Chains A and B, each alone.
Chain A
Amino acid sequence: MDAVFSDSQNQFRQEVRDWLSANVPGERLPSLDTQKGFDLHRAWEKKLHAGNWGMVTWPEEFGGRGCSLTDWLIFEEEYYRADAPLRVSQNGIFLLGPTIMEYGTDEQKERFLKPMAAGDEIWAQAWSEPGAGSDMAAIRSKAVRDGDEYVISGQKIWSSRAVFADWCFGLFRTDPESSRHHGLSKILVPLDSPGLTVRPIAQLDGDPGFAELFFDEVRVPVSNLLGPENGGWGVAMATAGFERGLLLRSPARFQAAAARLVKLYKQNANRLSSGIKEQVLQAWGDTERFTAATYALVAQVDSGASISSEASANKIFWSEMDRTMHRTAMTIMGMHAELEEGDGAIENGRWLDGYMFSLAGPIYAGTNEIQRNILAERVLGLPRQ
């Protein structure tokens, strides 16, 4: 066990830092849930890609640098230290990309990974349905085989960024006789397909951050099937593992927020009640715990171990830490907390945005209640209900 970065890791960090300081936009980009913000975030993805920083852990042949996960944590630290823009291509690069590498055919890797890394094709996820949220095995949208095509009908909901994205991936019932998690397949669908209607849904902040997707006999080639037909559940669980686990939420973003919280506290310290101080220390401490745990997890994965149900503890921890930390910021801001911008608004309403989004953390990627069920049953071995 050691906690010292190697010379080459330090060099890598410096390289990332230098590139980011020369390239990160001076001003925060508008929300990626608006057309303008989305376009600017896409342009940033292209810039990252041009610098070969799009997804450092990917193999070189797909536009990456073949870095270890530890290097990726270093990259993320520098990324959030530089306050670089959010990753509009996160569904592709963090979730679908690794799944294609694991389950995709050579043709699929060739077809999808490069434009994904380049920001040319941005992906949305289409799992949830009105009747299938936590109970994802209740999916009813179907894909019927017709020659070398699937004909898709049904409805998906809460698809983040689908309003502006290019493609979506999700689970569809390919075996009409099947029930629950059998007979589902993971299929990739262009969002501009004839018969596919994308209806924006305004999120808590009023921006069209998600969409409802109506599939009315949408046709896609059979080659858009990822993994085995009727074996989509297993493929989807692999993606869910990446999402709950380490790829989507590395410690750096939370450490950056905790550092901002300490600053916010100091600026307001003279008017705060005494209990706030400990909440601030708790926020900082929790991000340190999350960092140590993530480096330990990454060391395990780099040494060949695979993570599965343990990812559930990860998801519970980061999402609740994030919410608590943002609530503390709201408390500190007090009467200024409600201000979105302009006079009196602190950091242009950034904490408020962050607080709203932190409330979604315990809901998306499988609610925390579901994660607790998974931990209790699959890790602790308690009896199923």
Chain B
Amino acid sequence: MNLIYTSDQQELIDAADSFFAGEHTVEYMRNLLESDASDDTQTLWNNFAELGLLGLVAPEENSGLAQDFSVMAGIAEMAGNVALTEPLIEIAGISVPVLAQMGATDELNAVISGDLKVLPVCGLSGMVSHADTADMFLIGEGGKARLLDKSDVTLTPLKSIDPLRKLYKVSHAGDGLEAIDQRGAILNASFLCGLSKRMVTLSVDYAKDREQFGKQIGSFQAIKHQLANVHTQIEFTRPIVQLAATQNGRCVHQAKVSSIDTAMLAAETAIQVHGGMGYTFEVSLHMFMKRAWALCGEWGDRNHHINILETMILADDAELGPGTTFSY
């Protein structure tokens, strides 16, 4: 029992963090917004491959790093912290381990080297961001994982409130598979934690900068307490997400629900702290906030996960109480 990362694991997460923070800056995102060009993303993908991010959880014989899935969750949080636009986490965290399980060695090797993009599809929504850049799709159907070529499906563009999500409906989404959906939910929850954390950081920076009544607004207790509330919620969401990444079971659904509630609270608090400025396209907050709104409904929305929890917790034979958190 050791619910913290080893120092080697932490190093990998920190390395990803500094890479994201250095490359995927607010300026980079603004450029994407203005130029609408996704051609310069190839360098990013080459770097993902070079850093070993694509093969992070892949077996060593496929030149992966064979890391635990919990490390991927840690990296997903760092990706959330910068609101990463490219679907790295979906490919490296969902497609790669499932391809390995399927024994799809050729595809796996190509994905790890950055030459092939296999995007996982959530059977519940069939909505996939950046689907136009995929070479193949991974779906769950009839209890099995299945690969579809991009020519096997049609993509219908959808319009998301998040301007950096290039969203499509995939015509053939399957009916889901635990190996895909659980990973999707956990990584999504981690990503949301990162977004929440970043919204707090942006708000703290703003509250130290902006002055009213001759004082920094961050010195007002009404501002402090709201941000302290969000901080507290984040601190009590991240560990259950990490636990979900370490053991499956009902904590996955709790992790998703908590990360949704925390992200929505973070977004509402952040815009309030920013005042009128928060209601603009100008400050960077909106990019993080909109991503949070969008991701809350992905990989099973709140209703979906609460309903599952309900059947699990209210079942007659449910094991509840002290000592039942780790009993899987």
Which residues of chain A have a CB within 8 Å of any CB of chain B? 1-6, 9, 13, 70, 74, 76-78, 80-81, 251-252, 255-256, 258-259, 262, 265-266, 277-278, 280-281, 284-286, 288-293, 295-296, 299-300, 303, 310, 313, 316-317, 369, 371-373, 375-377, 379-385
B207 → A minimal CB distance (Å): 6
Closest to A371 in B: B228
Closest to B224 in A: A376
Question: Is B324 an interface residue when CB atoms closer than 8 A count as contact?
Answer: yes
Q: Is the CB of A284 within 8 A of B3?
A: no
Closest to A375 in B: B228
**Which of B132-140, B147-155, B232-240, B292-300 participates in binding chain A?**
B232-240
* Complex interface: chain A residues within 8 A of B237 (CB): 289
Candidates A70, A286, A292, A383; contact of B239 at CB < 8 Å: A292
* Complex interface: chain B residues within 8 A of A258 (CB): 320-321
Of residues 251 through 271 on chain B, the ones whose CB sits less than 8 Å from some CB of chain A are 251, 254, 257-258
- Kindly list 18 other residue pairs between chains A and B, CB separation below 8 angstroms, not including A80-B322, A313-B228: A1-B4, A1-B245, A3-B3, A3-B247, A256-B321, A256-B322, A284-B320, A290-B236, A291-B325, A292-B325, A293-B235, A295-B3, A295-B325, A303-B4, A369-B221, A372-B228, A376-B224, A382-B204
A381 → B minimal CB distance (Å): 6
Indicate whether A385 sits within 8 Å of B221 (C-beta atoms), given known contacts A284-B320, A295-B239.
yes
Of residues 91 through 114 on chain B, the ones whose CB sits less than 8 Å from some CB of chain A are none
Candidates A262, A372, A375, A379; contact of B320 at CB < 8 Å: A262
**Which of B45-53, B81-89, B160-168, B309-317 participates in binding chain A?**
B309-317
Closest to A383 in B: B219
Question: Is B70 an interface residue when CB atoms closer than 8 A count as contact?
Answer: yes
**6 examples of A-B residue contacts, CB within 8 angstroms:** A262-B313, A265-B314, A313-B232, A316-B228, A317-B236, A380-B227
B154 → A minimal CB distance (Å): 38
* Complex interface: chain A residues within 8 A of B318 (CB): 262
Among B247, B254, B320: residue with most chain A CB under 10 A: B320
* Complex interface: chain B residues within 8 A of A5 (CB): 1, 326
* Complex interface: chain A residues within 8 A of B70 (CB): 1
Question: Is B304 an interface residue when CB atoms closer than 8 A count as contact?
Answer: no
Indicate whether A380 sits within 8 Å of B200 (C-beta atoms), given known contacts A3-B246, A372-B225.
yes
Question: Is B9 an interface residue when CB atoms closer than 8 A count as contact?
Answer: yes
Question: Is B216 an interface residue when CB atoms closer than 8 A count as contact?
Answer: yes
Q: Is the CB of B322 within 8 A of A1?
A: no
Among A266, A277, A285, A286: residue with most chain B CB under 10 A: A285
Closest to B232 in A: A313
A374 → B minimal CB distance (Å): 8
* Complex interface: chain A residues within 8 A of B235 (CB): 293, 310, 313, 317
Q: Is the CB of B4 within 8 A of A296?
A: yes
Question: Is B276 an interface residue when CB atoms closer than 8 A count as contact?
Answer: no
Question: Is B218 an interface residue when CB atoms closer than 8 A count as contact?
Answer: yes
Q: Is the CB of A289 within 8 A of B218?
A: no
Q: Is the CB of A1 within 8 A of B224?
A: no
Q: Is the CB of A299 within 8 A of B3?
A: yes
Question: Is B243 an interface residue when CB atoms closer than 8 A count as contact?
Answer: yes
Indicate whether A380 sits within 8 Å of B204 (C-beta atoms), given known contacts A252-B322, A295-B3, A296-B3.
yes
* Complex interface: chain A residues within 8 A of B5 (CB): 1
Q: Is the CB of B6 within 8 A of A372?
A: no
* Complex interface: chain A residues within 8 A of B2 (CB): 1-2, 299
* Complex interface: chain A residues within 8 A of B324 (CB): 255
Candidates A76, A313, A375; contact of B236 at CB < 8 Å: A313
Report the separation of the CA atoms of residues A284 and B246 in the bound assembly, to the nearest whole angstrom. 20
Q: Is the CB of A3 within 8 A of B236?
A: no
Question: Is B231 an interface residue when CB atoms closer than 8 A count as contact?
Answer: yes
Indicate whether A285 sits within 8 Å of B3 (C-beta atoms), given known contacts A277-B310, A292-B240, A381-B204.
no
Report the separation of the CA atoms of residues A70 and B2 in the bound assembly, to the nearest whole angstrom. 9
Report the separation of the CA atoms of residues A1 and B241 in the bound assembly, to the nearest whole angstrom. 12
Q: Is the CB of B242 within 8 A of A382?
A: no
* Complex interface: chain B residues within 8 A of A285 (CB): 254, 257-258, 309
* Complex interface: chain B residues within 8 A of A290 (CB): 236
* Complex interface: chain A residues within 8 A of B30 (CB): none
Report the separation of the CA atoms of residues A383 and B224 in the bound assembly, to the nearest whole angstrom. 9
Question: Is B306 an interface residue when CB atoms closer than 8 A count as contact?
Answer: yes
B117 → A minimal CB distance (Å): 29
Indicate whether A384 sits within 8 Å of B219 (C-beta atoms), given known contacts A262-B313, A281-B309, A285-B254.
yes
* Complex interface: chain A residues within 8 A of B326 (CB): 3-5
* Complex interface: chain A residues within 8 A of B321 (CB): 80-81, 255-256, 258-259
A234 → B minimal CB distance (Å): 24
A209 → B minimal CB distance (Å): 26
